[in-house]
Chain A
Amino acid sequence: MSILAKETGAEILKAVRAPEFILPTIFMPSLFYTIFGVVLNKGGNSAVYLLATYGVFAVMGPAIFGFGTGVASERERGWLELKRALPSPSYSYILAKLLTTLMFTAIALMPIYLIAGFGGNVELARGDWFSLFAIHLCATIPFVLIGVALGFSLNSGGAVALSNIVFLSLAILGGLWFPVFLFPEFMQTLANFMPSFHLAELALSIVDTSKECAIGYHTLTIFVMTLGFLALAIFAWLRQRSL
């Protein structure tokens, strides 16, 4: 426990001492949300819809970049290799990074919620706000696993490039920026392969009760996808160890 606390403390210090990375991941989504969800909101309920989807968008950044590029660069610096020779449990590093990511995503969500609530006039029952937060926070996990897989597979240059591609694809194709139902049909089909889409749908099921939502289908799909990413992350991790 003390190892994990200290390891996490170290991760947090590293993160806050690189504000050029942490500030954009926290404020970019809220800025986007303000523009598209509130300022350009032409009636309709896009404030509500985009609250659900931008929340997923907000947690994606820290998860994919924090792990994808963070792990890749620390691995390249030989830091991970050294840690493996030390008597610290091997999971503590990943767990510490995960905890740090969760704290930052939690904080990154708050400006969006505040803007939605007080700027976009979104009103939810207290329990629904908490449920929405829980779903958004849990959404971190599959993206973290994607980040881990990227970080362990690529050098830092490659990780930055591919993380960006993955990040943008998940955001756009998953319907986080524009509702999926505005897409042409083949892209709607494609959305079903995006974890971001299923997470957004689950978040939508809370904010928009009038919407028909196959909660079981989305939950099951995201669960299976997460298992897949877990397998991928473990594979990437084992592979880099044996090199």
Chain B
Amino acid sequence: MLQKSFYFALIVSTAIVLAVLLNLPTPTVSEANSQRKSPFRDNDLTLIKNASVFDGMTLIGQRDVELREGLITSIGHNIEAEDHNVIDAQNRVLIPGLIDAHTHSFGDALTLSLNFGVTSNIDMFSPNELINDMHEQRASLDYTEQADLFSAGMLATIDGGHGTQFGIPIQTINSPEQAEKWVAKRLEEGSDFIKLVYMPYSSYFKSIDRATAAAIIKQAHNKNLKVLAHVSSFAAAQELLDDGIDGFVHIFADEIASTEFIEQAKQQRVFVIPTLSVISSAAHHDHGRALSEDSAVKPYLQAGQAQQLAANIGSQKLPGFELEVALKNIELLAQAGVPILAGSDAPNPGTSYGASLHQEIELLTAAGLNAEQALSAATGTIAEHFDLEGRGLIKIGARADLVLLEGSEISANSSRSIAAIFKNGKQIARKKTPKETSNSTSKLLSGELSDFENGLSANAGNLRWTKTDDSMVDGLSTASIEHQQPLLSVQAHVKSGFMFPWAGASVFGEKVWDISHFSHLEFSFKGDPGSYQVMLFSSQLTGPPPSQNFFVKDSEDWATIKLDMSDFKGFNTSDFIGLAIVAGPAHGEFKYELDGVKLTDQ
């Protein structure tokens, strides 16, 4: 009796608890990942009728294509529709999901990429944890709103070499003896291939030496890993070619490649990812801005993407990056039959995830590839040179990552006219540009940001001067400011720790201001010799802020600095929240003084 009471009570209470806990309301679908369903369909069977099929290499003509449970299960004529979701693709081109062969994928990279039909990203080193999950994620055929990822993981560089300036912990490699262990570690971490940085002729960066590079290539080949190289000069490329490199992740833009080089590259079946988009940005060609205004692209750009595209690398055109040289080199290599692969190098300034691959395809046609070759460079050719597990091609058994394009022909920029995107056989809803948050921004009436006659408050717009440094983004730089009537004295210590280190003074308020009626920023400056920059901040900022550099040679005299607002590339002048006048990106300790900071209209 007692025992029965106990078991009865135990069963009843457990049952009550389970019944309640299992029926309590849970959040309805949110932006959380995994368990979601495609908004378009509930069964996993689709038939795309009468599409002009580009199979990753060439247009093969009109076909019906059946997608079942994430895979392409049938390609043919007049396939009978049964329980299929039927999509009429008359006058449309079906291409494999695009692949960006050069990205640094972190943050929202995979979601943004897929939004532009890029169903796989190849990552050339990034500071992220996406790599930990990528093998599992890309093996899945479930519904997802993210592109798949393949990655080099850690890159091979030396202490103080390119890659170390970002403030991300890097396992550097400094001698050939370390190569075996270093490569083994990459294999263990799940790297899909090896990327090394070889810049022996750079004046900015140190580089691993040639022996180390050769050792890495040898060790990686022993373990069946391809080795790709970041080089920025023809000479460096030639050396690695001699040492057996598998591919280059940028085209060098300093010199025209020699015919011997081209012949040798062809013989050794080396491929090249030119990343013309980023070279264009370094050369200040403003291709990114044009892309951001393209009517096929603009409606789908997410917050910050337009600004990213409108920006350029560096405040001035970088030496050693001639877009014409790059285009010529690609033309020569392509003519000789060296495989060219499309990669954007997003998210460098001037590029953005997904969108910039369409830019790259167009730039490849500018280098002489025809539209089919350029499209293949972003699909089938990549699949041929990377083991992408059934991606990049339309064939039976391939993964059903597909993009349906408007129009029955393909052209240099037809890839951006996207009718539908399929990831793992399931259609994805493209995200439109979010509506501007309707903060009615008011005009900043006075441009007097401060003459420092009255402390740290700005004369205009309820703004206030404070110190600023990259510690807010986990950098290590430090700054302090002191109001010394009638000027502002700043002490800045710029240290390595963040990608774009800075330290100095800034002026911020709590509101968003419209400053589009001002044409220039002007201030008086006296300080230690070095490099300084002005950064403008907007509420929609996602990447590095638009900035201009200025250099100081003489510490004795006051100088008047006057900067044209239109030179802050990518800055939305009706979305101003503050600006900073800081030391950096060069490291060191700087002391400087500011006075009479103002926005002017002349």
Contacts and interface: CB of A to CB of B under 8 A. Distances in A.
Q: Indicate if A touches B (C-beta under 8 A).
A: yes
Interface of A: 2, 5-10, 12-13, 100, 103-104, 106-107, 109-110, 113-114, 117-118, 121-126, 129-130, 133
A118 B22 CA distance: 13
Interface string B1-36: 111111101100100110011101111100000000
Nearest to B9: A12
Given A6-B6, A12-B9, A125 B17 contact: no
B21 A5 contact: no
Nearest to A12: B9
B20 A5 contact: no
A113 B23 CA distance: 10
8 contacts: A6-B2, A7-B2, A8-B6, A106-B16, A122-B25, A123-B27, A124-B24, A124-B25
Given A103-B13, A110-B16, A129 B21 contact: yes
B31 to A, nearest CB: 14
Nearest to B13: A103
B26 A5 contact: no
Contacts of A122: 25
Contacts of B6: 5-6, 8-9, 12
Contacts of A7: 2
B22 A126 contact: yes
Chain A contact residues: over half helix, strand or loop, or mixed?
helix
Given A123-B26, A126-B26, A110 B2 contact: no
Contacts of B16: 106-107, 110
Interface string B559-595: 0000000000000000000000000000000000000
Contacts of B28: 123
B2 A117 contact: no
B482 to A, nearest CB: 33
A117 B211 CA distance: 66
B26 to A, nearest CB: 5
B466 to A, nearest CB: 24
Contacts of B24: 113-114, 117, 124, 126, 129
A8 B11 CA distance: 13
Interface residues of B, number: 20
Mostly helix, strand, loop or mixed at chain B's interface? helix
A197 B9 CA distance: 31
Given A106-B13, A133-B17, A118 B3 contact: no
B263 to A, nearest CB: 60
A114 B26 contact: no
Given A117-B25, A126-B26, A9 B17 contact: no
Given A2-B3, A9-B3, A125 B21 contact: no
Given A107-B17, A114-B20, A126-B22, A10 B2 contact: yes
Nearest to A11: B6
A124 B23 CA distance: 11
B196 to A, nearest CB: 41
Given A106-B17, A129-B26, 8 more contacts: A5-B6, A9-B4, A9-B5, A9-B6, A12-B9, A110-B20, A123-B27, A126-B26
Nearest to B7: A5
A110 B17 contact: yes
Nearest to B17: A106
A13 B9 CA distance: 10
Given A107-B13, A123-B26, A123-B27, A130 B3 contact: no
Nearest to A100: B9
Contacts of B25: 117-118, 121-124
A19 to B, nearest CB: 15
Interface of B: 1-7, 9-10, 13, 16-17, 20-22, 24-28
B449 to A, nearest CB: 34
B21 A130 contact: yes
Nearest to A121: B25
A109 B21 CA distance: 10
Nearest to A1: B3
Contacts of B13: 103-104, 106-107
A55 B21 CA distance: 14
Contacts of B7: 5
Nearest to A125: B26
Contacts of A124: 24-27
Nearest to B5: A9
With most chain A CB atoms within 10 A of its CB, the pick from B1, B4, B5 is: B5
Given A5-B2, A9-B2, A125 B27 contact: yes
A100 B22 CA distance: 23
B458 to A, nearest CB: 32
A2 B6 CA distance: 10
A1 to B, nearest CB: 10
Contacts of A5: 2-3, 6-7
Contacts of B10: 103
Contacts of B1: 9
A113 B9 contact: no
A125 B26 CA distance: 5
Contacts of B2: 5-7, 9-10, 13
A218 to B, nearest CB: 23
Contacts of B4: 9
Nearest to A117: B24
B8 to A, nearest CB: 8
A123 B32 CA distance: 14
B21 A133 contact: yes
A93 B20 CA distance: 30
B20 A113 contact: yes
Contacts of A2: 3
B316 to A, nearest CB: 44
A100 B24 CA distance: 25
Contacts of B5: 9-10, 12-13
A206 B1 CA distance: 40
Nearest to B3: A5
A39 to B, nearest CB: 19
A13 B3 CA distance: 11
Contacts of A9: 1-6, 9
A100 B8 CA distance: 12
A8 B3 CA distance: 8
A106 B597 CA distance: 66
Contacts of A12: 5-6, 9
The 10 A-B pairs with the shortest beta carbon distances in the complex, nearest first, are A9-B2, A9-B6, A9-B5, A6-B2, A117-B24, A103-B13, A110-B20, A123-B27, A5-B6, A8-B6
Nearest to B19: A110
Contacts of A125: 26-27
A106 B12 CA distance: 11
Contacts of A133: 17, 21
Nearest to B14: A106
B174 to A, nearest CB: 39
